[in-house]
Chains A and B, each alone.
Chain A
Amino acid sequence: MATQRAHKAARLMISPSVILLLAWMIIPLGTTIYFSFLRYNILTPPASWTGFENYYYFLTDPAFIPALVNTLVLVLGVLAITTIGGILLALLLNMEFWGQGIVRILVISPFFVMPTVSALVWKNMFMNPVNGLFAHLFRAFGLQPVDFLSTLPLLSITIMVAWAWLPFATLILLTALQSLDSEQMEAAEMDGAGWLSRFIYLTLPHLTRSITVVVLIQTIFLLAVFAEIYVTTAGGPGYASTNIPFLIYNLSLKQFDAGMGAAGGVIAVIIANIVAFFLMRAVGKNLEL
């Protein structure tokens, strides 16, 4: 498609889908922004114009700063666990061993469990201070069981979410590992590079692209973690496990306040963009975009 004519034709051909996609995005975003300037409670219509009042109340809410911090801690914590764990698991799965196929399927399977279900399983079967597996383990070693969800709420949620996302990271990194040229590895071996040097100088650089993809895709979803919090800690104790999506839910939907919800949504979009910007700068340096 190097000629002018081909370019013109191509533009004409794709224009319907581009227009549709734009409308698809712009209309909801536009309505959200419009609603965010209204005092609009669904139970008590009609709506009236308030300007930035919704934003003011959202940003000055005592839970906002803790929620922002919690969101970042949750995102970064899960990213760290899943990328490091994903690399290790991928390295392991890339080796040849008996029962490889079954083990691979087992490793992938957490991804198919929906967040509400996995959170309930974690809450009741593992982290429950009386009947949970961890409680039994602690007691078996003569230790006092820990009530994870009330003493370490954010860590508990981080673990649950990381468990759900580890397969995704592993899968992407495993496919990347499989495309690593074995002759390069052999050349490095002949060049006197040990296992660790080969990992640092060959494997890791080869994986950077995939790591970037894993980080970016996961960030989008991790900024919006909700179900795990809703079914386990409900944001508590206090604000200890409230993140931005949960705060939006608390401040608006619980009170049927559509205006406040819209303002929270716009703020979440802005935060997501800021986080994405820094992530792209940090990891995306290696990505030739």
Chain B
Amino acid sequence: MGQITLENVAKSFGEVEVIPPLDLTIEDGEFVVFVGPSGCGKSTLLRLIAGLEDVSGGKIVIDGSDATQASPAKRGLAMVFQSYALYPHMSVRKNIAFPMKMAGIDEAEQKRRIDSAAKALNLTDYLDRRPGQLSGGQRQRVAIGRAIVREPAAFLFDEPLSNLDAALRVGMRLEISELHNRLKTTMIYVTHDQVEAMTMADKIVVLQAGRIEQVGSPLELYRNPRNVFVAGFIGSPKMNLFTGAAAVEYGAETIGVRPEHVSVSADSGKWKGRIGVSEHLGSDSFFYVEDTGLADAVTVRADGEVAFRHGDEIWLTPAEDKIHRFDKNGDRM
């Protein structure tokens, strides 16, 4: 079980209110991703749930019982830190065994769990090494192993992949998703990488300056961003946002259209511009179109076969039903 409910949870450091009161429910077995720009309070929120920081107000309920004042150990949650936080003078085996040793689990059971975790995480050959003798990806897996063996009610991950290189990141992303499919344990995952958020989450929580901007499934957020911030944050490459005449035409303060919802043509269309930079990835082509009078550069995604080069004239046409309209406050209309 691992249902977590935050009721009016707030956090201030001295005078500074980092997290204004917020409500959030995380269902048992869900993979929830907290995403937002740097400094928006993702780690703080996670640490509040973990019990590593005291709340300034509100209530944290875990599996129906009030855990607001409970010590971190009593909450039955396991955390994987960005710096891995492995114990440097203990072997991998001892690192993984540590929480079980603290819980007083007997040796045979400890060994069984270590072996199965090591097998699942490809660590069997490294059990007798020290963390210092492992690569970043292996260290990450040890940290995950240490979390798994406790059989926690929920896993908390704080940017676990941000120290890894791009290729390894994709691999570990898949491993964590697989782990979730297998264990079906609640996971809360903090990242500022919206690709990680989109690919892994059952539910994304978009945060800005400690406020929850929107909660929803990845596709919900992609299709119906509730405001300009979410629209610009979710999706890669970013949604194009236009103000001024182009927006007024649609009766809005701001309109947004995703790069993949703009079609291109050499001779006709709605908006005219010139190619600034073109990127051909084979499967797709990305064009950064200048001189449209809409924005500095409009990003467009087209089929890989479409060939435009730097300086070419290009016409853009948005898919009318995919245009997002936002009012003066930045909220969806």
Contact = CB atoms under 8 A, between A and B. Distances in A.
B87 A184 contact: yes
B102 interface: yes
Contacts of B79: 186-187, 190
Contact of B85 (A181, A192, A194, A201): A181
Contacts of A202: 87
Contacts of A189: 52, 71-73
B240 to A, nearest CB: 40
B81 interface: yes
A42 interface: no
Interface in A102-117: none
Interface in A170-222: 181, 183-184, 186-194, 197, 201-202, 205-206
Contact of A188 (B50, B78, B83, B98): B98
Contacts of A194: 102
Contacts of B86: 184, 187
A187 B146 CA distance: 10
**Which of the four size classes fits the interface of chain B?**
20 to 34
A201 B81 contact: no
Contacts of B325: none
Given A201-B98, A206-B89, A192 B73 contact: yes
Nearest to A191: B99
Given A183-B83, A187-B79, A193 B89 contact: no
Given A184-B85, A186-B52, A201-B98, A192 B77 contact: no
Name the residue among B51, B81, B150 with the largest chain A CB count within 10 angstroms. Answer: B81
B150 A183 contact: no
Contacts of A187: 79, 81, 85-87, 146
> Main secondary structure on chain A at its contact with chain B?
helix
A189 B53 CA distance: 12
A197 B102 contact: yes
A191 B81 CA distance: 13
B166 interface: no
Interface string B56-80: 0000000000000001110001110
B108 interface: no
Contact of B89 (A188, A192, A205): A205
Contacts of A186: 52, 72, 79, 81, 85
B73 A191 contact: yes
A205 B90 CA distance: 9
A187 B85 CA distance: 6
Name the residue among B50, B52, B150 with the largest chain A CB count within 10 angstroms. Answer: B52
B103 interface: yes
Given A184-B87, A201-B87, A193 B98 contact: yes
A206 B90 CA distance: 11
A191 B79 CA distance: 9
Contacts of A184: 85-88
A145 B85 CA distance: 54
A96 to B, nearest CB: 14
A191 B90 CA distance: 15
Contacts of B88: 184
A36 B83 CA distance: 59
Name the residue among B71, B83, B86, B102 with the largest chain A CB count within 10 angstroms. Answer: B102
Contacts of B81: 183, 186-187
Interface of A: 181, 183-184, 186-194, 197, 201-202, 205-206
Given A181-B83, A201-B98, 12 more contacts: A183-B85, A187-B87, A190-B51, A190-B72, A190-B79, A191-B146, A191-B150, A192-B102, A192-B103, A193-B102, A194-B102, A202-B87
Interface of B: 50-52, 71-73, 77-79, 81, 83, 85-90, 98-99, 102-103, 146, 150
21 contacts: A181-B85, A184-B85, A186-B72, A186-B79, A187-B85, A188-B98, A189-B52, A189-B71, A190-B73, A191-B73, A191-B102, A191-B150, A192-B73, A192-B99, A193-B73, A193-B102, A197-B102, A201-B98, A202-B87, A205-B87, A205-B89
Q: What 7 pairs between A and B have smallest CB-CB spacing?
A: A191-B99, A187-B85, A192-B73, A192-B102, A183-B85, A205-B89, A190-B72
